[in-house]
Amino acid sequence: MFKVIEKDHNKKHMLRELERRYKLFYEYAPLPYQSLDEDTKIIDINQAWLDFLGYDKEEVIGKCFGEFLVLKSRELLTSRFSHFKEVGVIQDVEYEIVKKNGVHSIIWLDGRIEYDNSGNFTQAHCFFKDITERKLTEKKLKESEEKFRIIAEQSFMSIYIIQDGIFKYRNQRATDVSGYSSEDIKDWKPYEYAKIIHPEDRELVLEQSKKKQKGDLDVINRYKYRIIKKSGEVAWIDNFSKTINYKGRPADLVMTEDITEKIVAEQKLKESEEKYRYLFNNAQVGLYWSRISDGKFLECNEIFAKLFGYEKREELLEDYIATEHYVYPNQRNEILDAIRLNNEVRGYEILVTKKDGTPIWLSISARMFENENRIEGAAIDITKRKKAEQELLESEERYKKAYDKADFYKDLLAHDVGNILNNINASVQLMKIWNGDYNLSEKEKNMIEIIKQQLERGASLVSNVRKLSEIEEGEMSVKSMDAKKLIEKCIENIRSRFHEREIEISFNAVQEITNVIGGELLIDAFENLIINGIIHNDSKKIKLWINISKVNQEGRNYIKIEFKDNGLGIIDDRKMTIFKRNYEKDRSTGGMGIGLSLVKNIITSYGGQTWVKNRVKGDYSQGSNFIILLKEDN
């Protein structure tokens, strides 16, 4: 009887301790928390809730949660709460809440119902997060996209966005020019639009489009090509395109103009006098005639006059003498020599000054009529482009310096941290020798064990940083590897490394296994997964199961390796992120460090795949199952 009483007393003590821990968890949680009774009255809240809304606790306890919501959200709460009590859990339910100072905020609320042993409602536990800024950003983005569509649909130019070789957007003008409707192209495969492009121009257009979809800088933004309309008619297109960020990834924004009529006109003008043809080809830029002997301008258009700060062409012809405005005087002789050598120059860049002395970069295309003491040419203001090129050059130099510095500190950190860990380990070993195991208290022994485990994790971290750096900085050599022998070697190393812990490792190769496509770092990937199952494991007896088998996917043979453990497990919404390098520590599962990032990089570099799922389906707390697929070496 005394034992029963003592057992009940222990259960009550454990229950009180569990309640105390839950209380601390809710109280210090970074997100606002509230518990509600079955009438949505507030039972309890945490400090984050009070800080967010600006109330004191006495002002809110016992009030309905709906009193803090706008009318529309209050009505939704009434209808939704009944459903909440039935299903037991809700997630990302949106409400508009009003703070004490009158400020409105949009929140997402998650909740779970607590029931008693008889299945009756006890209270509702709810957390919420502020998504006001996100909603505003979504609204602005939607407005921006709508403005773009309005402008695009009214444009006289064809406008479209290409990503992954597929049209993500086309305006009506694009349909009008090509003859292909949205219905015609909806089932096109990536880059199937190439059939519209004239065969002689297809290589250039596809090359430039693919570069811009990748975000390359070495591209041609404007060029001309021909298309074949749905009717079979050939049309000339003037292409203006550049790389943009579309839904988080690079894409090719293309604006084209049907210049068929212009091209036909140009071809007809070839039959006229050559000097008029030349001027016509450059009609959209500054045009001029000048004397060879002294650089005096004889004729120009209004655009050319404005380049030099003149409102009227007559003013420039009267006042401006080119020879007096070269920033580098020898450039005039250089451009004259270049024209004489090739009969013409195109895109020759010079630096001159305007009438007020302001420097301006010009791109000159010109030809010489030496028997007439005359030069005909066209000029484009490229000052902004030259400035951008200089800024880009300076930016690249700054980036190179920053990269070199980061690389230096990475190596320095890895080396020095390694030395520090070795010194700490040596000190721990000396302490054990000097004191002797029998002279150490149980608390001291536990502390030494903790230090050893942390030293082990620190050493693994330094090693993983170095290996990640090797993968990122160079290509991985690939060769045939005996996966079974590698795993056996890993197990031997692990048993030696963790000999003081009670670990049971079962290795099962269910079939005759051939070699896999891998490399020198494959053993590091295997060891990382095994160590992960040991470190993140609170079981008194650590159990690991390693299974290896053959599978076939999409007609290719793979070797499947499973690393199972009885550790802490990984909650579902973390499974997609644990292999990422910036994966943050989750206190419910233990930090994974960069070890799993290293595993992912190694396996991917060998053409393999890796993912994680629950060891026991539907229950993550029973441990994890990390799976690797490697290509079979036939």
Kindly list the domain boundaries of the chain, sorted by start residue: 31-130, 149-264, 287-381, 390-453, 476-631
| Closest C-alpha to 464, from 326, 600, 280, 342 | 600
Q: Residues 13-34: what's their mean pLDDT? A: 66
Categorize the per-residue pLDDT at 587 as very low, low, confident or very high, splitting at 50, 70 and 90. Answer: very low
Range ranked top by mean pLDDT from 312-326, 445-459, 473-487, 549-563:
549-563
Q: Report the Cα 102 to chain-centroid distance in Å.
A: 37
Categorize the per-residue pLDDT at 58 as very low, low, confident or very high, splitting at 50, 70 and 90. Answer: very high
H/E element, 517: strand 516-518
Tens-place pLDDT, residues 462-471 = 666 666 566 6
Q: Distance between CA atoms of 207 and 214, rounded to whole angstroms?
A: 11
**pLDDT greater than 80 at residue 571:** yes
| Closest C-alpha to 45, from 66, 23, 67 | 23
- pLDDT for 577: 85
Q: Report the Cα 5 to chain-centroid distance in Å.
A: 60
**pLDDT greater than 90 at residue 247:** no
Residue % of the chain over a pLDDT of 90: 34
Q: Residues 124-138: what's their mean pLDDT? A: 89
Between the CA atoms of 495, 498, 501 and 505, what dihedral angle is there, to the nearest 10 degrees?
Answer: -30
- pLDDT for 312: 87
- pLDDT for 414: 57
Q: Distance between CA atoms of 285 and 265, rounded to whole angstroms?
A: 18
| Closest C-alpha to 224, from 242, 237, 210 | 237
Q: Could you please report the per-residue DSSP string of 105-166? A: EEEEEEEEEEE-TTS-EEEEEEEEEE-HHHHHHHHHHHHHHHHHHHHHHH-SSEEEEEETTE
- The answer to whether 112 and 123 have CB atoms below 8 angstroms apart is no
- pLDDT for 189: 93
Q: Domain 287-381 belongs to what topology?
A: Beta-Lactamase (3.30.450)
- The CATH code of domain 31-130 reads 3.30.450.20
Q: Domain 476-631 belongs to what topology?
A: Heat Shock Protein 90 (3.30.565)
Task: Assign 231 to helix, strand or coil.
Answer: coil
- The answer to whether 568 and 534 have CB atoms below 8 angstroms apart is no
Categorize the per-residue pLDDT at 266 as very low, low, confident or very high, splitting at 50, 70 and 90. Answer: confident
- The answer to whether 66 and 46 have CB atoms below 8 angstroms apart is no
Sign, Cα dihedral of 57, 59, 61, 63? negative
Strands 344-353, 359-369: pairing kind: antiparallel
Q: Distance between CA atoms of 12 and 2, rounded to whole angstroms?
A: 15
| Closest C-alpha to 477, from 516, 517, 529 | 517
Q: Do the first three CATH levels of 149-264 and 287-381 match, i.e. the same topology?
A: yes
> Residue 231 corresponds to which tokens in the numbers above?
């009717």
Q: Domain 149-264 belongs to what topology?
A: Beta-Lactamase (3.30.450)
Q: Report the Cα 388 to chain-centroid distance in Å.
A: 25
- The answer to whether 515 and 476 have CB atoms below 8 angstroms apart is no
More confident residue, 486 or 402: 486
Residue % of the chain over a pLDDT of 70: 78
**pLDDT greater than 60 at residue 627:** yes
Q: Give the least confident one: 366-375, 392-401, 525-534, 587-596.
A: 587-596
Q: Could you please report the per-residue DSSP string of 522-560? A: HHHHHHHHHHHHHHT---SSEEEEEEEEEEEETTEEEEE
Q: Residues 116-124: what's their mean pLDDT? A: 90
Residues 6+ apart with CB under 8 A from 161: 167, 168, 169, 244, 246, 251, 252, 253, 254
SS (H, E, C) 15-32: HHHHHHHHHHHHHCCCCC
Q: Residues 572-579: what's their mean pLDDT? A: 86
DSSP class of residue 40? S
- The answer to whether 544 and 530 have CB atoms below 8 angstroms apart is yes
pTM for the predicted model, two decimal places: 0.35
Q: Give the least confident one: 194-198, 261-265, 331-335.
A: 261-265
Q: Distance between CA atoms of 34 and 46, rounded to whole angstroms?
A: 7
Categorize the per-residue pLDDT at 268 as very low, low, confident or very high, splitting at 50, 70 and 90. Answer: confident
SS (H, E, C) 268-331: HHCCCCHHHHHHHHCCCCEEEEEECCCCEEEEECHHHHHHCCCCCHHHHHHHCEHHHCECCCHH
